[in-house]
């Protein structure tokens, strides 16, 4: 179970790695759901998304319910990563992001290229150039509805000799009111504090609390090898057995292997 939990944490971390310059340029004015595809040199991610002007939910789940869910609360500046199969979640603040990582620190310049129909939606095609407050830039094309839904983005980012292409596209878009429960932590979920778990496991290891017996002090006397007549031979102490590491210690070891800590 712990190994699967660590794999889910790694999946959630990968799930959260979409560059900000490929994210929604502005919040839409309507509520909707859709299937989302994100494609880059690293591969393709398929998601199911649920969106309102102030909230967003992204799901990457298997039919068995494994996988990860992200809930973005732009109204309260918090993001939750859910692991449904384990009924756990992690919480991250969306406030105080570093320079160039916050969408509000980017300025966008759009040039209208014309009207089109894309994936069953009437959209406007734009040539888009964006610049961050620290001078980074990207450019390409975007297709958005009049309600502000980004149906497609085909963007190129360049910094020095480094070039990255990102394609995002929505299909099966359904405009309509979304269930408010989609944007809340489900009942019965437990908050997962990876930092506390890691420090607890490492603290136990540093204090020698690994289930090993405390060595007996040496007395300087040599052990007798031959029994004294009339005396029962001494029965040697049983060899100490090493206790099974605790769940916390197992998880700590796995996480250190995954993340290099």
User: What would the mean pLDDT of 245-258 be, rounded to a whole number?
Assistant: 45
Query: 165 or 108: which carries more pLDDT confidence?
Result: 165
Strand positions, DSSP E, 176-235: 190-191
3-state secondary structure of 85: helix
Instruction: Give residue-wise pLDDT tens across range 31-51.
Output: 999 999 988 877 888 999 999
For residue 178, the model assigns a pLDDT of 98
Q: Is residue 7 part of a domain?
A: yes
Distance (Å, whole) CA 91 – CA 2: 19
CB atoms < 10 A from the CB of 19, how many? 14
Q: Is the dihedral of CA 86, 39, 23, 46 positive or negative?
A: negative
pLDDT of residue 62: 72
Decide if 12 contacts 81 (C-beta within 8 A).
yes
Residue 205 within a domain: no
Comparing 76 with 209, which gets the higher pLDDT? 76
What's the number of domains the chain is made of? 1
- Domain contains 23: yes
**Residue-range definition of the domain harbouring residue 65:** 2-191
Tell me if 220 is assigned to some domain. Answer: no
- Residue 243, in any domain of the structure: no
Mean pLDDT, residues 238-245: 53
Residue 71 to residue 82: CA distance in whole angstroms: 8
Summarised one tens digit per residue, pLDDT across range 94-131 is 875 544 445 566 777 889 999 999 999 999 999 988 88
Whichever domain contains 20, its CATH number is 2.50.20.10
Which comes out higher in pLDDT, residue 32 or 17? 32
Average pLDDT, the chain: 74
Residue 208 belongs to some domain of the structure: no
Q: Does some domain include residue 95?
A: yes
Residue 221 lies in a domain: no
Q: Considering only 21-25, 83-87, 92-96, 125-129, which range has the smallest mean pLDDT? A: 21-25
pLDDT for the residue numbered 27: 85
Question: Rounded distance, CA 51 to CA 176, Å?
Answer: 10
- Tell me the whole-structure pTM to 2 decimals: 0.68
- Residue 43 is predicted with a pLDDT of 83
Give yes or no for residue 240 having a pLDDT over 70. no
């Amino acid at each position: 179970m712990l190994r699967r939990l660590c794999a889910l944490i790694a999946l959630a971390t990968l799930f959260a790695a979409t560059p900000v310059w490929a994210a929604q340029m502005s919040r839409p004015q309507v509520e909707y759901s859709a299937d989302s595809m994100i494609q880059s040199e690293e591969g393709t991610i398929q998601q199911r998304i649920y969106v309102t002007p102030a909230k967003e939910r992204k799901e990457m789940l298997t039919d068995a319910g494994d996988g990860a869910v992200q809930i973005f609360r732009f109204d309260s500046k918090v993001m939750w990563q859910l692991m449904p199969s384990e009924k756990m979640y992690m919480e991250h603040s969306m406030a105080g992001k570093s320079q160039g990582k916050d969408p509000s620190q980017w300025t966008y310049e759009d040039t209208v290229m014309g009207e089109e129909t894309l994936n069953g939606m009437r959209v406007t095609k734009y040539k888009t150039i964006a610049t961050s407050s620290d001078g980074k830039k990207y450019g390409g094309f975007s297709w958005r509805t009049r309600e502000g839904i980004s149906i497609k983005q085909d963007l190129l980012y360049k910094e020095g000799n480094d070039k990255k292409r990102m394609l995002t596209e929505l299909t099966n878009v359904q405009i309509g009111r979304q269930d408010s429960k989609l944007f809340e932590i489900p009942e019965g979920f437990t908050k997962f504090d990876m930092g506390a778990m890691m420090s607890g496991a490492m603290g136990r290891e540093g204090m020698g609390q690994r289930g090993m017996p405390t060595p007996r002090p040496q007395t300087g006397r040599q052990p007798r090898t031959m029994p004294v007549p009339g005396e029962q031979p001494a029965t040697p102490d049983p060899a100490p057995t090493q206790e099974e590491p605790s769940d916390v210690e197992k998880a700590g070891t796995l996480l250190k292997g995954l993340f290099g800590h």
